[in-house]
Amino acid sequence: MSDIHPLILCGGSGTRLWPLSRAHQPKQFQPVNGEGSLTFFQSTVQRHRADMFSDPIVCVGSRHVQTVARQLREIQSKAHIITEPVARNTGPAVLAASLYLAGAKPDAVLVVLPSDHVIKGELNRLIAQMHRAVLDGLIVTFGIQPSYAEKGYGYVMDGGQFDLYPGLHRVESFIEKPSTAIAQSLIDTGFAYWASGISMFRASKLIEEYRRHDPSTFAAVSAALQSASPLETEAGLLLDERHFIAADSQPTEKAVFERCKDIALAPAAIEWDDVGGWTSVHSIGMKNESGNVTSGDVVLFDTRGSLVRGGERLVAVVGMNDVVVVDTDDALLVTNKSSAQDVKRIVEHLVTLKRREAENHRSQVTEWGTIKSMQAGPGFAMDLLSVDGGKTVTLVGEEGVSRILAVIRGGVRLIGDQTQSELTPGLSAMVATGRQAVLVNTSDTVSEVIEISCGNASVLGLPSQPFATIPYDVRAADYA
């Protein structure tokens, strides 16, 4: 049973959960229950840490590799990281992981797990129950008993139970995101299940099906894996972009499952939610006697059935029902629950305006600490760098941009081209245009540095991008 390998997929941008979820900090890396709780990704990893599972394989886009690595370290989990140079949907990522694993263990079993779902119940028991069928060559997809007619989900139709495998059913058909009326008619038959995105198969079986049904994608992903380069600081590899981009951008369900005769359905008696919007966050949250779900510094009066998430300041809501209020350090969302799915339209508008709030939070967590953008405008930016004890920050020079560094707490060593200096509170130093600087926190406590950058307006903050963050080449290492 230890040959069951969790494959955790970390794609997706989660635009319906803006302003919590951003393009560079999507929902899977955000805390499930507010500040201090595990993230969706970490919860997925933890859910499948048991004797029956090997270390997980994580598929992630190149911009989020360091985030994955940091969050794995926070929960002391090892993993193999497969980095996608470009997004090609779930199919090519799952195929790459299968090829990666099959090289050493052709009969190893993969269980594919989206990283941004909330699950309660005995999923692992069902996975163990399906193991024999998978070893016998079936591909198992896990279905959820629908509780309402959701047009945003795919549906799997039950084709009747297998005799040899208790709890396993045949698949009659797949139906992709029907209208609400059709979804209700499917549910009324009693044979329809939501497609959860969770599946299980032998690595060699998925490879065989891709060879049969999509040989060009099989060739592209195989070549991308053969030409992959190892990650510099983590266990894993970066797929070769020249080949990987040629793979057909399709989900595994459409590329393989809908064409495969050996597909099966495992109905899962679990609580499941893909957390596709703020109404879902409210539905799965712990409610008080008024039906409200809150986190952070929140005060409510005469308010019912609402979701209110506070940030760094007090949020007070008076006399409102069925609303969503989400406060972050640079954006505030207020909507009624019935319109919460339209939040993605706000994000689309922000992208059109080239607003930074669509891409990044004002504060960003890094390997060495945090960056918080304080203020920016044409040709200048001011950031607060909080450097953890024993960590190193490399600031790569930008042509036409100079920097002033001022320590306000703790102390750092500033290393220039041929100079070193010790900066303590009240001391500052200048980094000349285009020059690289290294900050080393030699203590075991956090040090804070104000960085003021001036110069090239095409690099620094613009009016359409308030609080724009300077591009950093960030590397972290223990100070030795």
User: pLDDT of 397-436, one tens digit each?
Assistant: 778 888 999 999 999 999 987 778 899 998 999 888 888 8
Q: What percent of the chain has pLDDT over 90?
A: 66
CATH topology of domain 4-273: Spore Coat Polysaccharide Biosynthesis Protein SpsA; Chain A (3.90.550)
pLDDT digits (tens, 9 = 90+) for 437-461: 899 998 899 999 999 988 866 555 5
Question: Would you say residue 354 has pLDDT above 80?
Answer: yes
Q: Do 4-273 and 362-455 share a fold?
A: no
Q: Are 3 and 15 in contact (CB under 8 A)?
A: no
Distances (CA, A) of 420 to 86, 368, 393, 407, 480: 40, 20, 14, 15, 16
Where in the chain are the domains? Answer: 4-273, 278-343, 362-455
Confidence (pLDDT) at 462? 44
pLDDT in tens, 203-218: 999 999 999 999 999 9
- On the question of pLDDT at 463 being above 70, the answer is no
pLDDT digits (tens, 9 = 90+) for 378-405: 888 899 999 999 999 988 877 888 899 9
* Residue with more model confidence, 84 or 397: 84
Residue 93: pLDDT over 90: yes
User: Can you give the pLDDT at residue 317?
Assistant: 97
Q: What is the mean pLDDT of the chain?
A: 89
Q: What is the CA radius of gyration of the chain?
A: 24
The pLDDT assigned to 440 comes to 94
Q: What is the mean pLDDT of residues 472-476?
A: 32
**Paired strand residues for 171:** 158
For 360, residues 6+ apart whose C-beta sits below 8 A from its C-beta are: 22, 23, 24, 25, 469
Q: Is the pLDDT of residue 58 over 80?
A: yes
178 and 213 Cβ atoms separated by less than 8 Å: no
- CATH level 2 (architecture), domain 362-455: Sandwich (2.60)
pLDDT bracket for residue 352 (50, 70, 90): very high
Q: For residue 249, which phi and psi values (nearest 5 degrees)?
A: -80, 85
Global pTM value: 0.80
The pLDDT assigned to 468 comes to 33
Question: What pLDDT digit, counting tens, does each position of 225-270 carry?
Answer: 999 999 988 889 999 999 999 999 999 999 999 999 999 999 999 9
pLDDT at 301 over 60: yes
